[in-house]
Structure 1
Amino acid sequence: MQFGLTMFATDLTIPVTEIAVAAEERGFASLFVSEHTHLPTSRRSNLPMFAELPVEYGHTLDPLVALTAAAGATRTLRLGTGVCLLAQREPIVTAKAVASLDLLSGGRVEFGVGFGWNVEEAEDHGVVWAERRASVRERVLAMRGLWREEVAAYEGEHVRFAPSWCWPKPVQPGGPPVLLGGIGGPVLARHVAEYADGWLPVGSMSLEYGLPQIRRACAEIGRDPAELRIIPCGGFPPTPAELDRYRELGVVEQVVLTVPHAPRDEVLATLDHYAKAFL
């Protein structure tokens, strides 16, 4: 089992290039970074685990720019979005940016995608909240066409473009793996089964709850669930018992550990602790 890291890459903490180099030097497999384009001050949307939203949520770097910097500073580290809020992004531009990152990094991109939780943020991008999942689905399908086909076109409710050329193509055959993030449930399970390469559950409880539903959703469409990559991402560091459970399930290829949004010394000390405990 491999171990990766996830963090809020911001202008207030250790530079993303430094943590990427430190992660690679210590033997971690990946670095995932978060995304928020902006945060409206209304706070109509809230995360129930926080009385006050942590400062890093409003300071995130653009994840594709941050990962490009990390790519230039490393050689083997996998580079992930954890997660890209795809409904808020224009799909043609994003497809080109992700393909460019995959090319420049030598095929090291993990494209984590999520549906989002902040209604106001999404609305500022013109997203109809009830349609965001359908919008993400179409964006993934359209982007895959641009990555894979010499001439690609798409005609949907949320994405439309005429037959087009789009280069560069990603290094990874078929494009970077698309990993859907979120807490397990029947709706997420159907999306993962239909068009994702894997799932980024948040912690062991989400995995235990969601995995049977994903397996059922795969069975309904005749897909082998063993094709899916399962990478628990974020939350609290797993206990030894949770790691044993992951191994028993036999489906978890990697566990991604949360790095605190903190000064450089604290971040590096956390990496040293994780390396000693998990690697």
Structure 2
Amino acid sequence: MRLGITMFATDRTMAAHELAVAAEERGFASLYLPEHTHIPVSRATPAPATHEASGAEPGMLRGVNGDETLPESYARALDPFVALAAAAAVTSTITLGTGVALIAQREPLVTAKAIASLQHLSGGRFVLGIGYGWNVEEAADHGVRWSLRRDLVRENVLAMRALWTDEVASFKGEHVGFEPSWSWPKASVPVLLGGVGGPRLLAAIAEFGDGWMPVGGAGMRETLPKLAAAYEAAGRDPSTARIVPFGTLPNAAKLEYYATLGVEEVVLRVNGGPREEILATLDAYTAFL
């Protein structure tokens, strides 16, 4: 089983490219970084129940609309594509991914170019983990109507896939469109969708994704047959779906359980902090390699 790591890389943590080097040296297979452009101070959206699995540092932010708090790493997160490009320059084997990128909040032409460039420069080591987001106010500042965010993610991914694969690419959707265009470099980019494995997410994975990133892994045994059924309904081979449990605090029993489900990669949570603390965590995790 491949073991990777995820951490909120911020301006106060160990540098992401140094973390990538340290992880690769110790035999970890992957590094995933999350994305948040900003956190509105007037946030009314409750903090996600899964933020404990995010690898966020302990400092907290308090919104002005109530007592709800959020780890400050959400507001300090580095741009993952920039950070992973720096990591690609100083590593050679480790997989580099987003966990997760908020694709509804991104313009697809620019994002497709950035991802294709990163895939080219990294020698094909990039994986695009995406999510629908949870912060209504953050999305609104990007012009995203909350009820349409799933549709935006779908169209953005389909538009980017056209740019990555077609010699002359074009796309026309309800929310996204561009005329026949040239855009290089071309790229093969695995797309993994994060989130709770409900029917809409599973159908989306089967339509335009390459796998699922369940946070924490709860309910996987019951959900995997439903994902297989969604793949079959879409005319795809269920055995090709990549299942990557995300933000896991490891123990031997948990990893063995994942292995019995056929999981080939697990991403372990590393809390943000100074270099010495992070390296100590990585060293402790090597016991599971």
Matched, 1:238 2:253: no
CA shift, 1:206, in A, is 4.2
- Other-structure match for 1:269: 280
- Other-structure match for 1:78: 95
Matched, 1:46 2:46: yes
Return the letter of the residue paired with 1:60. Answer: A
Deviations 1:211-245 (A, max 9, x none): 232122123223221111111111x4133222222
Distance (whole Å) between structure 1 residues aligned to residue 34 and residue 272 of structure 2: 12
CA shift, 1:29, in A, is 0.5
Distance (whole Å) between structure 2 residues aligned to residue 255 and residue 221 of structure 1: 26
Matched, 1:186 2:199: yes
Matched, 1:63 2:91: no
Return the letter of the residue paired with 2:29. Answer: A
Matched, 1:139 2:156: yes
From 173, 183, 189, give the equivalent of 1:156. Answer: 173
Distance (whole Å) between structure 2 residues aligned to residue 48 and residue 118 of structure 1: 8
Matched, 1:205 2:222: no
Contact residue 104 and residue 149 of structure 2 kept, 8 A: yes
Query: What SS does structure 1 have at the residue aligned with 2:158?
Result: helix
CA shift, 1:209, in A, is 4.2
Query: What SS does structure 2 have at the residue aligned with 1:204?
Result: coil
Distance (whole Å) between structure 2 residues aligned to residue 210 and residue 47 of structure 1: 25
CA shift, 1:254, in A, is 0.4
Distance (whole Å) between structure 2 residues aligned to residue 35 and residue 113 of structure 1: 9
Deviations 1:166-187 (A, max 9, x none): 01222xxxx2100111111111
Query: What SS does structure 2 have at the residue aligned with 1:203?
Result: coil
CA shift, 1:253, in A, is 1.3
Distance (whole Å) between structure 2 residues aligned to residue 124 and residue 142 of structure 1: 22
Structure 1 stretches of 4+ with a deviation exceeding 3 A read 48-51
Distance (whole Å) between structure 2 residues aligned to residue 243 and residue 78 of structure 1: 20
Matched, 1:259 2:270: yes
- Other-structure match for 1:126: 143
Query: What SS does structure 1 have at the residue aligned with 2:156?
Result: helix
Matched, 1:20 2:20: yes
Contact residue 185 and residue 213 of structure 1 kept, 8 A: no
Return the letter of the residue paired with 2:34. Answer: S
TM-score (norm 2): 0.91
From 203, 220, 225, give the equivalent of 2:238. Answer: 225
Aligned length: 272
Question: Where do 5+ consecutive residues of structure 2 fail to align?
Answer: 52-67
Distance (whole Å) between structure 2 residues aligned to residue 58 and residue 272 of structure 1: 28
Question: Where do 5+ consecutive residues of structure 1 fail to align?
Answer: none
Kindly report the root-mean-square deviation, in angstroms, between the aligned alpha carbons of the 2 structures. Answer: 1.2
Q: 1:206 to 1:38 in 2, by over 3 A?
A: farther
- Other-structure match for 1:166: 183
Distance (whole Å) between structure 2 residues aligned to residue 206 and residue 73 of structure 1: 37
